[in-house]
Structure 1
């Protein structure tokens, strides 16, 4: 079943926040594994997602 269309505000505070938290967790795992490039890439995704307003 397709998801109903959400307003931009709902997306930013709902799913967007969850996605950012997940990306931060993945970045932290990469950092702990010594994979600085992967860590940087995931943090960059978070920054780009939070700057879009």
Structure 2
């Protein structure tokens, strides 16, 4: 985990960054992975965390 610019979870083949906007009342989620399917799966779980 890295907390320099939000909260970033690091995986073997991916990462996800949760970051609060400084100009809007929103949380942004950034995901990078080795495949589109993995990006989609991580993004789906990340959105569920933010929406609760």
Q: TM-score, normalised by structure 1?
A: 0.42
Larger radius of gyration: 1
Q: Give the structure with the larger strand fraction.
A: 2
Q: Give the structure with the larger helix fraction.
A: 1
Q: TM-score, normalised by structure 2?
A: 0.43
